[in-house]
A and B are shown apart, each in its own frame.
Chain A
């Protein structure tokens, strides 16, 4: 393992760093520009620094219903997250055995990942109007988003259960545990780290979803819709301030999940079990 790094390491390393700059550069730029002075515009130079544009966001809404849409997006993200986690576990358990129709269902799940999101948006909107129901973010929007988060969650669970060692379950069963006890005391703790990943995906994919919510959210916007609406009529750095805030919010959510994951890992290490190694 030791020894001098080959030249290719430095070339590829430089490529990697460039890629990271490409990924993060623009976001960092609007982060800086959101601190523009009150006279500043959408590009450099900075005309002083201030919190002017953030203050603007918190004042009475000249720019739309940002906080309302944030609350809706957050609630919806939570709903989608919980549903995705629970149904992915159930689906993952179901797919451990082959059952009649399992292949068809697998391909429907895959199709759900690749079907253009505008079709889901349009189709769900049409179904609701045919049934005479009003589209609403918590009903049609929720369902439309699940067609995107569920396949993700399920794919992760399929991958987890493909590498799952059933010996632990059999040992528990031999000692007289019933099916529910096997699940609650053996399976669930073993798949917990992956579930944190599923939950993170469920929340963020929902929180940032645009196309699937476009025609299914009804009269009240979710945050991404609200932000996109702003791009057409807001031409001040207040847009950047909002972008910076939601990005910071997303980053803190990710951080919370990472901390939880590390905590689970440490707890596991403390109880001295090597179960679940190689699942991360």
Chain B
């Protein structure tokens, strides 16, 4: 597919340039504006008393002592919030799905440790936290379900009495004849894989400031969200307020990674209280709250098997996935988003004729799971690429070679993967080839052989993946959701001062979109990058937009930005044709000027705006009636979306004394389409891989059998520091551009999708003389020690 003809790709002036970020000066000078920085006159502070039970009936709530404390203004219970906010749930049209209501404050029953039960409002956060201790809560314990395999049994106690079971979603995929494929196999491999639970850990924890203007009956919520539009739309229903009287603003937000893509109870409670009291209120999460309540990630058990022919061809794959989704089905994504994605992406970039898979999303007494960088696909790739390595070992084939033989070739696109997803076109083979060249694969294998002869545990990892990015209206980001994630809006306006503003429904959490979107709009409009103001994260700016998630910002924002800028450009050219007395075909723009090609006749766009808006008489009335203004709003729908792909390779060594895994080399070769800003594109890959390394080696949310979170501090939940992350080589393959407007593909999540599999394969490779296969991550020193001890005992 080639880009549409009418988009001019011949003059990249800013797209592809290493433009330094415009966000940086304010953030570097300490002048950013994060939610926690917001102050309002008379602002009150909220603190939450949270459940210390994983599953219990609330038998008594006594807030009188807290209420009586000096400095406490109000105390709210679940019953109070029920009165102030309509109930809500994450619905889906998907078959075999059961939605759950999510009470903003628990009513009658708590279902996970950390669930908010009571909200105290006081003159300072210190006082509000003091008062929490005075809230009297009594519980009657219920059976706690922490093991999803127990929770899915027909006789298991139910978390939600109104549901049929704890299985919130179930789905099956099938293509071809799997049983026959396995019967014909030269080798089969597989087993039980476990991808443990992690949590996003944005360095800025979640926060909200809610204000209610009694005069205009308007609610304003500043919050740390990636999805201001989705939050606004739902708050409108929850509070029976029309959209224009709810404004949700995401100012500077300190990282998201998916953790801030859900509607959170604290946001609803803050709004309810602000409206009830008529006072501005603020809530800032502490880290313990964040670790216990921000949407957790992954947590799947996958029984999977692969069948291959003697020449390495994949004959069939089967998988049975159990996803532990926690206590409720998260809004808006539902409990389906993570586990269903595991199954739909499991076939990956490989040619697989026979595939059978089943997935069940099971409720347990744990924090809700939601979106986290990669969503399901880190597990898909972990399982698929581990299976490939295990099969390769059985038939004595090199891991890179077995991938080369199975990756979809360039002449096979568009390719319908075994789960039904369609890969439009992406440089699967080229990424693998260039990764091998870039890391010096053959030489590394020789070095590894020498190291192995010395008894060292040195391993090489390979992983390949494909993902759908910029997913348009044809496919919902989560199956059957009633919200539209398939379009995005941009308004480009040149006002009467001649200034350019481009407004989007997207929101930025550090991706540098104020810079990249300005590059895109400036390119199309023919103005300087610094002359384009970018508005993000404010529901007042466009009529519909959902936000930034699922690697959609560049595809949607870039596409909508180009379409809107192009429409404004047409208006500029028409007005300029009149003012410069030239044919519109002869008009061109650049650097903020309008020129007649091949002449010295020109004017500034600023002067053109003055001519249209203010200097009556310079543009005739009939033309003004037709042009209206120098403004356009466009909605972009990429429909199918586009395929981003990559190959990751790494070299690791396991220390035989400490069992620490040292990553010595790491390369990412990715096809992310047209790169808008190489600085930012590389940074996304670095950060994604770093999070993938955390997932592979360190990070794990651990619950004990009573459902207590044992990892509620950053001492116990360990994320990588500068000493654990190597320098990462990033190469962008310049393949044929996708059919998206602008030729962009999404690239935010890829690093995290590929890295866990790549590292797990490298460790398995290093320990292969002991016959060890990594089936569970993170591969902590303790887990590796136990595997080696067990292998030695055999």
- Do A and B form a real pair? no
